């Protein structure tokens, strides 16, 4: 069994990505068998290399190898191309024609973009996979063929099956072994290697000095998402090699050759997408917690002042923005104080400290008493109004909706009528 390095050199494969290496190892291992293989991956990742490797390391390597792009053949002629036709089978069939499955007898057929096959052709292909039999278009004679099938697709086959565009039984026959090739954006360390190889090839082709990248340009190249994968990278390398006179490429120049550069860069330069998403979520969480702490400080500060001042109207006038923030704009009305029955009000003033220290002191020393006071006031108002929320809300100087929210918040449902 050859080493991965030898396989890469032999088939012109560049890169050391773990996913790529795993795919090449699987291809080499299944090559000696007759197992049907499905190669999955996005368009432009190099899926065509896998069936070549499988064929070259198989016992069929001296027989024919035929690659068929199923998506490029019109639906009306695909059956004729694959299985052949008899003379006069349809208009223009002036002679008998052998199809790919007959020509490739004893060898390998690579069905690229197999997900594009029409449903009628899928039925014929399933028969070939099951017992090696096929019938030419316009014929009734059953013929036998001995071919190994390697298929490839860039579609989500499970979704295609759900939508009725691909037969489930055919999918499971094709995917006895499934080999997945990773997209280029997941092979970041391989991107500079591939670009240098393409730049060198085009320099020789067009007889010009080899293009080189500055460090910032190389970083930009790595961070780009490459929706077209290796094919897109190769096209960019060719464009830059031909059009740029300066053979040392900077980031500003390279950016002009990368479409939608602004929308495709990750949020955190130099980090991966998961780290960027986590950082964003963490910042949002910090903001929410900070706002909650600020709201709690404001509420406790107001409640403490209410405890020390029987004239709630003056409290409202002294703290209009605070009242508006806590209870909402529609609740910013004149408040009426209703003292608790049989319970003295604490008349001791708060300690003389600044606003910031005061808020922090209240949080640490009295974490529950202020909330208890608000609950007690709501309970008292509900009791005096015999559970009538509208009357209780009027006494408290807040809207009925806000009172209802507070009742739910403090689990005071038993006080309602």
pLDDT in tens, 96-144: 999 999 999 999 999 999 999 999 999 999 999 999 999 999 999 999 9
Question: In this predicted structure, what is the pLDDT of residue 77?
Answer: 92
| pLDDT for the residue numbered 331 | 45
User: Nearest CA to 150 among 110, 105, 106, 104?
Assistant: 110
CATH architecture of 186-264: Orthogonal Bundle (1.10)
Per-residue model confidence (pLDDT) at position 398: 83
Phi, psi of 315, deg, nearest 5: -65, -40
Q: What is the pLDDT of residues 347-395, one digit of tens each?
A: 455 555 444 443 443 444 444 456 777 788 888 888 888 888 888 888 8
**Choice between 349 and 146, residue whose per-residue pLDDT is larger:** 146
d(CA 14, CA 194): 6
pLDDT for 350 equals 53
Q: CB of 313 within 8 A of CB of 335?
A: yes
Q: How confident is the model at residue 30 (pLDDT cuts 50, 70, 90)?
A: very high
Name the band, by pLDDT with cuts 50, 70 and 90, for residue 315.
low
User: Would the pLDDT of 324 be above 70?
Assistant: no
Q: What are phi and psi of 111, to 5 degrees?
A: -100, 95
Q: Which of 393, 254, 390, 268 is nearest to 333 (CA)?
A: 393
Read off the pLDDT of each residue in 222-245 and give the average, rounded to a whole number.
Answer: 94
Rounded to 5 degrees, what are φ and ψ at 144?
-110, 150
Residue 73: pLDDT over 80: yes
- CB-based contact 415:382 (threshold 8 Å): yes
Would you say residue 262 has pLDDT above 80? no
Neighbour-count burial for 340-360, b at 16+ CB within 10 Å, e otherwise: eeeeeeeeeeeeeeeeeebbe
What pLDDT is stored for residue 378 in this prediction?
Answer: 83
- Enter the tokens of residue 335: 């408040």
Pick the CATH number of 4-182 from 3.40.50.720, 3.30.70.270, 3.40.50.300, 1.10.10.60: 3.40.50.300
pLDDT over 80 (residue 314): no
Rounded Cα distance between 143 and 136, Å, is 8
pTM recorded for the entire structure: 0.62
3-state helix, strand, coil in the chain (%, to 5): 55, 10, 35
pLDDT value for 386? 85
Tell which wins on pLDDT, 110 or 282.
Answer: 110
CB 392 within 8 A of CB 381: yes
Phi-psi domain of 238 (left: phi exceeds 0; alpha: psi -120 through 50; beta: other)? alpha
pLDDT exceeds cutoff 70 at 228: yes
Q: Is the pLDDT of residue 151 over 60?
A: yes
Coil vs helix vs strand at 143: strand
Section 307-313 average pLDDT = 57
Q: How far is CA 405 from the centre of its chain?
A: 38
For position 365, what pLDDT does the model report?
A: 44
Which stretch of 222-226, 247-251, 400-404 has the lowest confidence by average pLDDT? 400-404
**Mean pLDDT of the residues in the chain:** 81
Token representation of residue 26: 């699987």
Share of the chain above pLDDT 90, in %: 59
The alpha carbon of residue 410 and the mean position of all alpha carbons in its chain are separated, in whole angstroms, by: 40
Q: Are 133 and 142 in contact (CB under 8 A)?
A: yes
pLDDT at 359: 41
Q: Which of 48-57, 331-340, 387-396 has the highest mean pLDDT?
A: 48-57
Sorting pLDDT into bands at 50, 70 and 90, what band is 332? Answer: very low
Instruction: Report the helix count and the strand count for the chain, using DSSP H and E.
Output: 20, 11
Q: What is the mean pLDDT of residues 291-307?
A: 67
Band (47; pLDDT cuts 50, 70, 90) = very high
Q: How far is the C-alpha of 392 from the C-alpha of 378, rounded, in Å?
A: 8
Higher pLDDT residue, 322 or 90? 90
Please report, rounded to a whole number, the percentage of residues in the chain having pLDDT higher than 70. 73
Higher pLDDT, 4 or 331: 4
Annotated domain spans of the chain:
4-182, 186-264, 285-415
Say how far apart CA 72 and CA 53 lie, in whole Å: 23
pLDDT, average across residues 151-173: 96
Q: How far is CA 43 from the centre of its chain?
A: 17
Q: pLDDT tens for residues 404-417?
A: 888 877 777 644 44
- Given a cut of 90, whether residue 82 has pLDDT beyond it is yes
């Amino acid at each position: 069994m050859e080493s991965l390095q030898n396989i890469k050199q032999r088939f012109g494969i560049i890169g050391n990505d773990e996913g790529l290496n795993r795919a090449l190892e699987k291809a080499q291992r299944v090559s000696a068998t007759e197992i049907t293989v499905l190669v999955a991956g996005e368009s432009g990742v190099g899926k065509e290399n896998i069936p070549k490797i499988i064929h070259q390391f198989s016992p069929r390597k001296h027989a024919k190898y035929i690659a068929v792009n199923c998506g490029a053949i019109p639906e009306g002629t695909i059956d004729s191309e694959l299985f052949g036709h008899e003379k006069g089978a349809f208009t223009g069939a002036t002679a008998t024609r052998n199809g790919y499955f007959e020509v490739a007898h004893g060898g390998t057929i690579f069905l690229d973009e197999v997900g594009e096959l029409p449903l009628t052709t899928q039925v014929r292909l399933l028969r070939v996979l099951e017992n090696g039999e096929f019938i030419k278009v316009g014929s009734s004679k059953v013929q036998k063929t001995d071919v190994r099938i390697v298929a490839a697709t860039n579609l989500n086959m499970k979704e295609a099956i759900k939508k009725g565009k691909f037969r489930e039984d055919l999918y499971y026959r094709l995917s006895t072994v499934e080999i997945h090739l990773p997209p280029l954006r997941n092979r970041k360390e391989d991107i500079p290697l591939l670009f240098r190889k393409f730049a060198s090839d085009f320099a020789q082709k067009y007889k010009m000095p080899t293009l080189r990248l500055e460090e910032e340009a190389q970083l930009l190249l790595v961070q780009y998402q490459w929706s077209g994968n290796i094919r897109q990278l190769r096209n960019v390398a060719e464009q830059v090699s031909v059009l740029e006179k300066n053979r040392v490429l900077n980031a500003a120049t390279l950016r002009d050759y990368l479409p939608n550069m602004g929308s495709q860069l990750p949020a955190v330069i130099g980090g991966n997408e998961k780290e960027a998403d986590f950082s964003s979520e963490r910042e949002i969480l910090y903001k929410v917690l900070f706002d909650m702490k600020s709201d709690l400080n404001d509420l406790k500060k107001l409640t403490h002042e209410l405890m020390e001042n029987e004239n709630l109207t003056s409290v409202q006038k002294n703290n209009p923005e605070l009242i508006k923030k806590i209870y909402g704009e529609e609740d910013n009305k004149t408040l009426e104080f209703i003292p608790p029955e049989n319970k003295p009000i604490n008349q001791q003033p708060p300690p003389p400290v600044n606003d910031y220290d005061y808020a922090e002191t209240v949080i640490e020393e009295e974490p529950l008493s202020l909330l208890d006071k608000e609950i007690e006031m709501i309970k008292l108002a509900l009791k005096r109004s015999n559970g009538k929320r509208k009357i209780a809300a009027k006494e408290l100087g807040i809207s009925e909706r806000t009172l209802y929210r507070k009742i739910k918040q403090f689990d005071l449902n038993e006080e309602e009528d």
